[in-house]
Amino acid sequence: MKTQTEYLWFNTKNHREYINITGEVEKVLLKSGINEGMILVSAMHITAGVYVNDAEQGLIQDIDEWLEKLAPFNPNYRHHRTGEDNGDSHLKSLLIHHEVIVPVTNGKLDLGPWQQIYYAEFDGQRRKRLVIKVMGE
């Protein structure tokens, strides 16, 4: 089995952002030379996530509003007693999750017709990274 590992770095302009990284993941796959296998895409921070969904702006706004309803900013989170103010960002990350595994078939990401891979930032405006690990033959 062959592997290829690369990292993407982010420093978002906004506190919350949703970034389509499908093209970047495809570049790593192509560089790996792997024809059959899997790709792990994982945020390496506890206030960010990775998900697969449609690249439609209205849906992205709906996801953001849904997350804010489920895990709203609240100055009374116990986590804030540590001096932090990002308790909601941790909860949003739990809802989205921090990683996805995407199959590779015939040298291509085996995604559905509308599926794209997104990096979700919930506590941005500082440097963070994501790992892409391709595994296969």
pLDDT tens, position by position, 86-121: 999 999 999 999 999 999 999 999 999 999 999 999
Is 137 in contact with 36 (CB distance < 8 Å)? yes
Q: In the prediction, which pLDDT does 27 show?
A: 98
Q: What is the pLDDT of residues 29-60, one digit of tens each?
A: 999 999 999 999 999 999 999 999 999 999 99
Model confidence, pTM: 0.96
Report the domain count for the chain. 1
CATH (domain of 31): 2.60.120.460
- At 19, the pLDDT band (50, 70, 90 cuts) reads very high
Nearest to 8 by CA among 32, 43, 34: 43
Q: In the prediction, which pLDDT does 61 show?
A: 98
Query: 125 lies in which domain range?
Result: 2-136
Distance, CA of 4 to CA of 28 (rounded, Å): 8
Q: In the prediction, which pLDDT does 9 show?
A: 98
